[in-house]
């Protein structure tokens, strides 16, 4: 019998060989599809949301589970160390909340002065993004960039050094 997302339940435990810093807790979806966490003491937290501590630099390390009031109710040190069922629930929830396309190639720009429009190929397909100013391109570490368009959508360039020659040439004009 296949388990539906509404009835998935997972339990995480703190073992000596696991790096999770939480005590026992159970995580499941309620009839409305929201996450409900029950800790080892029997406390129940409804409408729990996972929040990444470092969404770009270390997306699978340091995930807080926060209640509807914004208070942290559990902590997952490393997502790969939790049981597969729990990991699946957390990844599903994160996927539904996060939207950050990754730019794979810069196809064209309308000009090299801002404001301008970029045509980019992302991991979700080709799109246009309107760049208001040079400050809309921010460095994240040595190789990554975060590009914000005029609609508030953030695009990630995970490794600007691995872009094709044409994309690097365009990008160099803006950095």
Determine if the pTM surpasses 0.85: no
d(CA 9, CA 49): 15
d(CA 14, CA 25): 9
Q: What does the pLDDT look like over 11-21, one tens digit per residue?
A: 454 444 333 34
Helix boundaries (H) for 67-158? 84-97
CA distance from start to end of the chain: 55
The angle at the Cα of 153, spanning 55 to 128, to the nearest 5 degrees, equals: 130
The owner of tokens 């435990």 is: 13
Contact (Cβ atoms closer than 8 angstroms) between residue 56 and residue 21:
no
Q: What does the pLDDT look like over 102-152, one tens digit per residue?
A: 999 999 999 999 999 999 999 999 999 999 998 999 998 889 999 999 988
């Amino acid at each position: 019998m296949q388990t539906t997302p509404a009835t998935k339940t997972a339990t995480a435990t703190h073992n000596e060989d696991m790096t999770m810093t939480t005590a026992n807790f159970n995580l499941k979806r309620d009839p409305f599809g929201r996450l409900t966490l029950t800790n080892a003491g029997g406390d129940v937290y409804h409408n729990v949301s996972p929040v990444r501590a470092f969404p770009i630099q270390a997306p699978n390390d340091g995930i807080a589970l926060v209640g509807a009031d914004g208070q942290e109710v559990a902590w997952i040190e490393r997502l790969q160390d939790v049981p597969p069922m729990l990991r699946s629930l957390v990844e599903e929830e994160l996927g539904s909340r996060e939207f950050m396309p990754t730019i794979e190639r810069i196809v064209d720009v309308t000009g090299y002065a801002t404001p301008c429009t970029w045509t980019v190929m992302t991991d979700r397909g080709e799109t246009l993004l309107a760049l208001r100013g040079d400050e809309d391109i921010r460095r994240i570490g040595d190789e990554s960039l975060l590009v914000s368009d005029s609609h508030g959508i953030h695009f990630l360039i995970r490794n600007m050094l691995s872009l094709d020659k044409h994309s690097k040439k365009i990008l160099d004009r803006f950095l």
